[in-house]
Amino acid sequence: MSQYLPEVFLMLMGFSILLYAILDGYDLGVGMIMPQNNEAHRDTMIASIGPFWDANETWLVLAVGILLIAFPMAHGLVFEALYFPTFLLLLGLILRGVSFDFRAKAKDQHKGRWDLLFRLGSWLAAVMQGYMLGRYVTGFDSGFAAHLFAVLSALCVSAAYAYIGGAWLVMKTTGLVQQRAAFWARRAGWLAALGMLTISVVNPLISADVAARWLTFPAVFLLVPIPLMCLVLLVAVDRYLAHVPTRDDIGCWFPFVAVAFLFVLNFFGLAYSYFPDVVPGLLSARDAASSTASLTVIFYGVAVVLPFILLYTAFAYRVFWGKTQKLSYY
């Protein structure tokens, strides 16, 4: 078992990143599509993520913690190359946290300013995450094409977050807020689909290893279901959102579940492309890992902590299941 610990921790880190992208992705998306001209709608949208958004960021903390402790060489390399984008990402997350709390206590004439900061923080965090992902998968190449790919990744990830955020609101709200969410989710979905297609074409062009994994026999046939399933889900969600609200709000959960599954499929595609590298093209999990003794101790810690995080997350979503009600503070 011990000889496989580097790969185990790489999979645990990937699992944390995937859950973060889905869970914090939707509340970033909600912040991104908040209207500036309708306070009542903003209140409802904030209330829909109120019980969850802070805990959702736990998965980012866990992922970074695993990177730091299990792969210290990779941690140094990643944050040395992405120092400034990381600073901007943290700035966006801080803006979100401060404005979320202050908007609930601010006087009416200042509330709109905090909502604007919440939206700006959401956009900043989403764009920086996408940019950092683009730089990461190109192995921090400093060429113009690599930076252009990172910008494309930033647009795609931002659109994907707005997509899943709109889908979340379709599930959690009713009336005009739900209709507005469906409107923006459809358009974000179109942009996200274009981004996924473009990145799927560009990735094999800039990486011979990725091209070999996806475009050689028999992989090219075995992996065809992944893009086909993505296409089916994109079309199905688009058709559903075009008819929101449905009679008796039937199937309101479908867009969110389908988009979350899209995230899973895309994450699997990335994982298949680069596993077992912890930094694509530069460091494998084994080369970057801490000593076996250290990984063993860390593994026991994660084995205790991770189930509690999962149980708490499941409990929170079970308690606050259903349509959003007014968020209040006592």
Q: Give the Cα separation of 69 and 76 in Å (integer).
A: 11
Q: Give the Cα separation of 289 and 9 in Å (integer).
A: 9
Q: Please name the helix (run of DSSP H) or strand (run of DSSP E) that holds residue 102, with its range, or none.
A: helix 83-103
Q: How far is CA 11 from the centre of its chain?
A: 16
Sort residue 281 into left (φ over 0), alpha (ψ -120 to 50) or beta.
left
Residue 223 CB coordination number (10 Å): 16
Q: Which positions ≥6 away from 64 have C-beta within 8 Å?
A: none
Of 124, 145, 123, whose CA–CA distance to 135 is shortest? 145
Q: Are 100 and 46 spatial neighbours (Cβ–Cβ below 8 Å)?
A: yes
DSSP string, 47-97: HHHTTTHHHHTHHHHHHHHHHHHH-HHHHHHHHHHTHHHHHHHHHHHHHHH
Length of the chain: 330
Q: What is the pLDDT of residue 328?
A: 58
Q: Which two tokens stand for residue 230?
A: 């993505």
Q: What is the pLDDT of residue 327?
A: 58
What separation in angstroms does the CA of 189 have from each of 30, 135, 226, 318?
14, 23, 18, 27
Q: Which positions ≥6 away from 310 have C-beta within 8 Å?
A: none
What separation in angstroms does the CA of 15 have from each of 2, 47, 114, 148?
20, 27, 33, 28
Q: Are 327 and 43 spatial neighbours (Cβ–Cβ below 8 Å)?
A: yes
Q: Are 35 and 180 spatial neighbours (Cβ–Cβ below 8 Å)?
A: yes
Q: Which two tokens stand for residue 31?
A: 């912040």
If you search the block for the tokens 């101790």, which residue do you land on?
A: 297
Q: What is the pLDDT along the chain (330 residues), one digit of tens a residue?
A: 567 899 999 999 999 999 999 999 999 999 999 998 888 899 999 999 988 888 888 899 999 999 999 999 999 899 999 999 999 999 999 999 999 888 877 677 778 889 999 999 999 999 999 999 999 988 888 888 888 999 999 999 999 999 999 999 999 999 999 999 999 999 999 999 998 998 888 888 888 888 888 888 888 888 889 999 999 999 999 999 999 888 888 999 999 999 999 999 999 999 999 998 999 888 999 999 998 888 999 898 888 889 998 998 899 898 888 888 765 554
Sign of CA dihedral 6, 8, 11, 15: negative
Residue 89 CB coordination number (10 Å): 20
Q: Are 177 and 43 spatial neighbours (Cβ–Cβ below 8 Å)?
A: no
Q: Which two tokens stand for residue 37?
A: 């001209």
If you search the block for the tokens 């949208």, which residue do you land on?
A: 45
Q: What is the pLDDT of residue 110?
A: 76
Of 264, 266, 194, 193, whose CA–CA distance to 234 is shortest? 193
Domain 2-319 indexed as CATH 3.30.70: no
Q: Which positions ≥6 away from 290 have C-beta within 8 Å?
A: 69, 70, 71, 72, 298
Query: Can you point out the beta strands (E) in the chain?
Result: 277-279, 283-284
